Amino acid sequence: MNFIKTEIPEVVIIEPKVFGDDRGYFFESFNQKEFEENIGKVDFVQDNESKSSRGVLRGLHFQKPPFNQAKLVRCIEGEVLDVAVDLRKDSATYKKYVAVKLNGENKRQLFVPRGFAHGFVVLSEKATFAYKVDNWYAPNHDSGIAWNDEEIAVDWQIAAEEVQLSGKDLQLLPLCETENPFTLKMELCEY
């Protein structure tokens, strides 16, 4: 596996070594030893999978402590633009984001550490998305920020009118109006 640091060093792209021939392909999608040597110790406790159609945008989600989560995400089929936003106030990359195309062809994965909001949008007609988390889902600690927060200004690489959101995601507010458990206080919106 190849571990590639992004503009936010804690967010890491993982490229597997794919062995293919006319019968198909094989690759190792996770190796605990290599993961720990390159990223650190993370104990994943749950695997999740979703299937979505073009324009479905899930996010930007995070869980509040003590149920905050690190994620290892990948797109098994189709293509998504995957986004991780740094919510750690003491970080030099606070409010910055990393966006990476993940698809069934490149088989890349993205490690999203705790302290980040995460989301993805489907760029292909359909996509199957899978991810590991290192903490249990806790509905009372579930939170997120609006996908179109102007201050963060994610380039989702899809027209806004194509975006399809869940009822829950439609209710999400900009970061400056959201309780951010990774900062010391609420911030004021500058608009």
Determine the Cα–Cα distance for residues 82 and 3; give it in Å rounded to an integer.
17
Any idea which residue has 């399809």 for tokens? 164
Assign 178 to helix, strand or coil.
coil
Residue 20 lies in a domain: no
Is residue 49 within 8 A of residue 128, CB to CB? The reply is yes
In a domain, 19, yes or no: no
pLDDT tens for residues 76-131?
999 999 999 999 999 999 999 999 999 999 999 999 999 999 999 999 999 999 99
Q: Give me the pLDDT at residue 187, please.
A: 59
User: What is the rounded distance in angstroms from the CA atom of residue 67 to the CA atom of residue 150?
Assistant: 27
As to burial, measured by CB atoms within 10 angstroms (0-12 exposed, 13-18 middle, 19+ buried), residue 129 is: buried
What is the identity of the amino acid at 54? Answer: R
What CATH number is given to the structural domain containing 167?
2.60.120.10
Q: How many domains does the chain have?
A: 1
Distance CA 102, CA 99 (A): 10
Q: Is the pTM of this model over 0.75?
A: yes
Domain assignment of residue 108, given as a range: 42-177
In a domain, 52, yes or no: yes
- Predicted confidence at residue 108, as pLDDT, reads 98
Would 33 be classed as within a structural domain?
A: no
Q: How far is CA 102 from the centre of its chain?
A: 11
Give residue 120's pLDDT: 98
Query: By the 8 A CB rule, do 169 and 57 touch?
Result: yes
Q: What is the pLDDT of residue 180?
A: 87
97 domain-assigned? yes
> Is residue 64 domain-resident?
yes
In a domain, 8, yes or no: no
Per-residue confidence band for 173, with pLDDT thresholds at 50, 70 and 90: very high
Residue type, 56: V
pLDDT reading at 186 higher than 90: no
* Catalytic residue ranges: 61, 131
Asked if residue 184 is part of any domain, the answer here is: no
Positive/negative CA dihedral, 171, 172, 176, 182 = positive
